Amino acid sequence: MRITVVGGGPAGLYFAALMKRADPSHEITVLERNAPDATFGWGVVFSEETLGSLRDADRPSYDEITEMFARWGAIDVRYRGETVRSRGHVFSAIARVRLLSILQRRCADLGVELRFEHEVSDLSGLAEAADLVVGADGVNSTVRAQRAEALGPTLDVHRTRYIWFGTHLALKAFTFIFRENEHGLFQVHGYPFDARTSTFIVECPEWTWRRAGLDRATEQESIAYCEELFAEDLAGHRLLSNRSMWLNFVTLRNGSWRDGNVVLVGDAAHTAHFTIGSGTKLAMEDAVALAEALERHPGPDLTPALVEYELARQPVIERFQQAALESSAYFENVRRYAGFEPVQFAFNLLTRSGRITHLELEKRDPSFVAGVDDWFARNATGSAIQVEPAGHRTVRVARAPAFTPLLLRHVDVTNRVTLSSPDQDRCEDGVPGDEHTHRAEVAAASGAGLVIPGSFAVSAEARIRPGSLGLYAEAHAAAWRWILDRARHLGEARFGATIGHAGRRGATRPRTRGVDIPLEPDDAWPLVSASPLPYTSRSAVPRELSVEEMPAIVAAFARAARLAAGAGFDLLELDLARGHLLASFLSPLSNRRADEYGGSLDDRLRFPLRVVEAVREAWPERRPLAVRLTATDWMPGGFEVDEAVAVAERLKSLGCDLVHVVAGQTVRNDRPEYGRFALVPASDRIRNEAGICTLVGGHLTTMDEVNTILAAGRADLCILDPPVAAG
């Protein structure tokens, strides 16, 4: 086979070597635009997993590469003058120029033709002359540009600026450094790649970069600026430049990696943000996968081989790109965690991409996680329930974060796991039955710290369904007092009640065969909402809540709060979510009012906050008040997380203690984003920007997920959905 490889970087050279090695009769040419000794960048990082595939693919180059490796197992996070070290990771790195020279030599030994300083302009000619053309020419690929229509590239430009330096400071770990000055927060991603040199990448937000004047700075001025800022970290060493420039990282994706006999590998096909340090690793793995696929499907038709290559690599790349996006988003928003103590800051950083969890870190470095757990148990439980300080020693048997208590006002929730019952009740006039007693007992004995046994309507007209639970009569409070008294003997769970008004989602059937199906008109009751907009095309048109009716609604909420207190609930949750009455005021999608209760966020908040104040007043001062809040409508033009943060700040100032973060269902045709940790970013923002405790769910099914979210400071309580058995 005649193969032309465009680009003499690691992917192109390695692929050429592997193919020639597999079959010396292949005629392989590598075309490189630069000279053999030209190089950009400093060191490249590998993980242990990659090394196995390189060893299997070509032992001689593997031996040479690993001979040159710098290896280390620690990650250091330097923040607020402290360094937190986490061990047990496996990294290797090598100078890019050395890697290239090894691969160039290997290619030459095997008989690959290497042509340097050769610029490719006419791809069609190459593609006609060769059986296969491999585009290994990097993120600015000429090959890709010439086949853009078939390959469908998309480019996402990141918002931060970064610059690559080297330094003769020999770092001992993968090192993250955070330094703040009058211009803003800068961070360094540094790692050693030989005995005396390290890569030192400096990154900052665009506006920090401009404020520092770096947009106008020469290369020497940029070096001087960074050397001064990181003087303490550099310990007298200089920053070395290699035509270093401030760049925006670009995430590249391609719909297809192949077009006829042209195929892309490495950065030409995909990029993943450098904060997860994988570019060269992924590029060389591409080369292995492509060479293997071509070996398995020799025939003149290249399609089966190229399809197999894509099938093998695209899912891997997608996962990396997803993790890289989460990682880069973390660094873009890292100021949010400026109030964290170093140990939690470090844990949060290490778990930023969702790939590494509490459990995984514990496997790698048990003492680091013991330190995190110990810190959490002492410092993150709401102050009053303090473990006796044990000097500076770490408690080796600290409880995992999920099993630490949380003090909310005077209520100590014994652990962070919350069980919330779905709204499936079948009661008469809102009164609970045996089913509720049984469920409450089971939940109390389940080991959960907080149980929310149901959503309670604040009046008969406030019910979602005829069988909804109520808290609008003494009989309701009495029934629940009896249930809670029984349940309390079975465990340590605290009980919470959610009180709400269905608004325009009221008067619907049981949810057995579908949600929001209205009752037959004869069985229904009139609906009320912020504006007269029906929830679905079948739903009754609600009446616009008049200003005159508002006091009665406020009074109903306050009454429900008093009844819940009398029943003995430990926590009260106010329903400001799901498109129900109070939430209907919050969202511009459901609130079209022209009076002072619609329009700006302040106006849309006016009525719901009046209810919050009345409920806080009616609910015992010693017990915590939570608000279930829609963080985003999941709908263009709707309520967004920015507004939710502002609302959370107001709620906090009115004496709310906890925000239960949910999303969607404001309108029926929303665009939900279901997936792992879907609600966690919103919880993270609300908690750390508004400074209020959060409760988050969104289908969390393992204790590891809960521990990771808690220890990273992304929420304070988690709703656990029981895991699903297979089959």
Partner 1 sequence: MRVGIGLPNTCPGATGRLLVEWARRAEAGPYSSVGVLDRVPYVSHDPLTTLAAAAAVTSRIALVTMVVVGPLRSTALLAKQAASVDSISGGRLVLGLSIGARQDDYVVARVDHRRRGEALSEQIVDLRLAWERGAMTPQPARDGGPPILVGGLSGQSFGRMARSADGYVHGGGPPRAFAGAASRALAAWSDLERAGRPQLWGQGYFALGGTEATETGAAYLRDYYAFTGPFADRIAAGNLTTPQQVVDFVRGYEEAGCHELVLLPTVASLEQVELLAEVLSA
**Contacting positions for partner 1 (CB under 8 A):** 256, 258, 303-304, 307-308, 310-311, 315, 422-424, 511-517, 536-538, 634, 664-665, 668-676, 678, 698-699, 721, 724-727
To which residue do tokens 């196995």 refer?
52
Please enumerate in sequence order all residues whose Cβ is within 8 A of that of 435, keeping only pairs 6 or more positions apart, or say none.
425, 426
Shortest CB 312 distance to partner 1, Å: 10
Q: In terms of CB distance, is 594 or 726 closer to partner 1?
A: 726
Shortest CB 715 distance to partner 1, Å: 17
User: From CA 261, how far away is CA 134, in angstroms rounded?
Assistant: 8
Q: In terms of CB distance, is 422 or 521 closer to partner 1?
A: 422
Whether 164 contacts 197, CB under 8 Å: no
Structure tokens at 590: 């459901």
Shortest CB 309 distance to partner 1, Å: 11
Q: 449-484: buried (b, 16+ CB within 10 Å) or exposed (e) per residue? A: bbbbbbbbbbbebbbbbbbbbbbbbeebbebbeebb
Q: Check residue 263 and report its DSSP letter.
A: E
DSSP E strand boundaries for 577-716: 625-630, 658-662, 693-700
Q: In terms of CB distance, is 247 or 312 closer to partner 1?
A: 312
Q: What count of other Cβ atoms lies within 10 Å of the Cβ of residue 555? A: 15
Q: In terms of CB distance, is 254 or 275 closer to partner 1?
A: 254
Q: In terms of CB distance, is 148 or 311 closer to partner 1?
A: 311
Q: Count of alpha carbons within 13 Å of 678, Cβ hemisphere only?
A: 17
Looking at this protein, which amino acid is placed at residue 364?
R
Q: Check residue 428 and report its DSSP letter.
A: B
3-state secondary structure (DSSP) of residue 154: strand
Shortest CB 511 distance to partner 1, Å: 6
Q: Check residue 531 and report its DSSP letter.
A: S
Q: What count of other Cβ atoms lies within 10 Å of the Cβ of residue 233? A: 18
From the list 5, 162, 166, the residue with the least C-alpha distance to 95 is: 166
Structure tokens at 330: 């973390």
Shortest CB 538 distance to partner 1, Å: 7
User: From CA 702, how far away is CA 54, in angstroms rounded?
Assistant: 35
Q: Where are the alpha helices (DSSP H) in 408-518?
A: 434-444, 474-488
Burial of 21 (0-12, 13-18, 19+ CB in 10 A): buried
Shortest CB 494 distance to partner 1, Å: 22
From the list 262, 251, 249, the residue with the least C-alpha distance to 154 is: 251
Q: In terms of CB distance, is 533 or 555 closer to partner 1?
A: 533
Q: Check residue 691 and report its DSSP letter.
A: T
User: From CA 211, how far away is CA 213, in angstroms rounded?
Assistant: 5
Shortest CB 252 distance to partner 1, Å: 18
Positive or negative: CA dihedral 358, 362, 365, 370: positive
What proportions of the chain, in percent to the nearest 5, are helix, strand and coil? 40, 20, 40
Q: In terms of CB distance, is 58 or 425 closer to partner 1?
A: 425
Shortest CB 446 distance to partner 1, Å: 17
Helices 366-379 and 703-711 meet at what angle, rounded to 10?
Answer: 70
Q: Count of alpha carbons within 13 Å of 398, Cβ hemisphere only?
A: 32
Shortest CB 122 distance to partner 1, Å: 24
Q: In terms of CB distance, is 151 or 582 closer to partner 1?
A: 151
Q: In terms of CB distance, is 26 or 147 closer to partner 1?
A: 147
Looking at this protein, which amino acid is placed at residue 342?
P
Q: Where are the alpha helices (DSSP H) in 131-205?
A: 142-146, 148-151
Give bridge partners of residue 155 from the DSSP assignment.
252
Q: In terms of CB distance, is 146 or 665 closer to partner 1?
A: 665
Positive or negative: CA dihedral 45, 117, 240, 156: negative
Q: In terms of CB distance, is 21 or 714 closer to partner 1?
A: 714
Shortest CB 655 distance to partner 1, Å: 28
At 454, give phi and psi (nearest 5°). 170, 175
Shortest CB 470 distance to partner 1, Å: 17
Q: In terms of CB distance, is 231 or 517 closer to partner 1?
A: 517
Structure tokens at 256: 């297809």
Q: In terms of CB distance, is 115 or 538 closer to partner 1?
A: 538
Q: In terms of CB distance, is 355 or 668 closer to partner 1?
A: 668
Structure tokens at 430: 């809102």
Whether 477 contacts 391, CB under 8 Å: no
Shortest CB 140 distance to partner 1, Å: 23
User: From CA 374, how far away is CA 378, in angstroms rounded?
Assistant: 6
Shortest CB 626 distance to partner 1, Å: 18
Shortest CB 708 distance to partner 1, Å: 17
Shortest CB 678 distance to partner 1, Å: 7
Shortest CB 580 distance to partner 1, Å: 12
| Gyration radius of the chain over CA positions | 30
Shortest CB 465 distance to partner 1, Å: 11
Q: In terms of CB distance, is 311 or 654 closer to partner 1?
A: 311
Stated length of the chain? 727
Q: In terms of CB distance, is 380 or 720 closer to partner 1?
A: 720
Q: In terms of CB distance, is 489 or 513 closer to partner 1?
A: 513
From the list 669, 657, 694, the residue with the least C-alpha distance to 679 is: 694
